[in-house]
Amino acid sequence: MTVEVRSQKMTDPQLPGWMVPPPEGFTAADLDHLPDLPAHTELIDGSLVLVSPQASFHTLTIFVLEKGLRGNAPADLRVRREMSVVLGPRQRPEPDIVVIRPTADLGPDVTAYQAADVLLAIEVVSPDSETRDRERKPQLYAAAKIEHFWRVEQNGGKATVYVYELDPATKAYALMGIHHDKLQLKVPFEVDIDLTEIESL
CATH of the domain at 151: 3.90.1570.10
Q: Could you give the C-alpha distances from 116 to 113, 139, 157, 172, 189, in angstroms and in order?
A: 8, 16, 34, 16, 18
Are 8 and 89 in a shared domain?
A: no
Are 10 and 101 in a shared domain?
A: no
In this structure, of 17-31, 105-119, 148-162, the range with the lowest mean pLDDT score is: 17-31
Contact 52, 1 (CB under 8 A): yes
pLDDT value for 20: 73
Task: Give the separation between CA 157 and CA 39, rounded to whole angstroms.
Answer: 26
Q: What angle do CA 74, 76, 81 make, to 5 degrees?
A: 85
Are 75 and 138 in a shared domain?
A: yes
Report the percent of the chain where pLDDT is more than 90.
80
pLDDT value for 14: 64
Are 98 and 113 in a shared domain?
A: yes
pLDDT value for 15: 60
Are 41 and 90 in a shared domain?
A: no
Are 95 and 170 in a shared domain?
A: yes
Are 176 and 88 in a shared domain?
A: yes
Range of the domain at 17: 3-50
Q: How many domains does the chain have?
A: 2
With residues binned 3-state (H G I as helix, E B as strand, rest as coil), the percentages for the chain, rounded to 5, are 25, 35, 40
Are 86 and 166 in a shared domain?
A: yes
Report the percent of the chain where pLDDT is more than 70.
91
Are 98 and 62 in a shared domain?
A: yes
Average pLDDT, the chain: 91
Tens of pLDDT, residue by residue over 127-173, are 989 999 999 999 999 999 999 999 999 999 999 999 999 999 999 99
pLDDT value for 8: 45
Query: Final residue of a domain: which of 30, 50, 70?
Result: 50
The answer, yes or no, to whether residue 4 has pLDDT greater than 80, is: no
Helix boundaries (H) for 83-195: 130-131, 137-143
In this predicted model, which residue has the larger pLDDT, 15 or 142?
A: 142
pLDDT value for 82: 93
Are 133 and 181 in a shared domain?
A: yes
Are 14 and 75 in a shared domain?
A: no
Are 124 and 144 in a shared domain?
A: yes
The answer, yes or no, to whether residue 52 has pLDDT greater than 90, is: no
- Full-model pTM: 0.90
pLDDT value for 9: 44
The residues facing 178 across adjacent strands are: 162
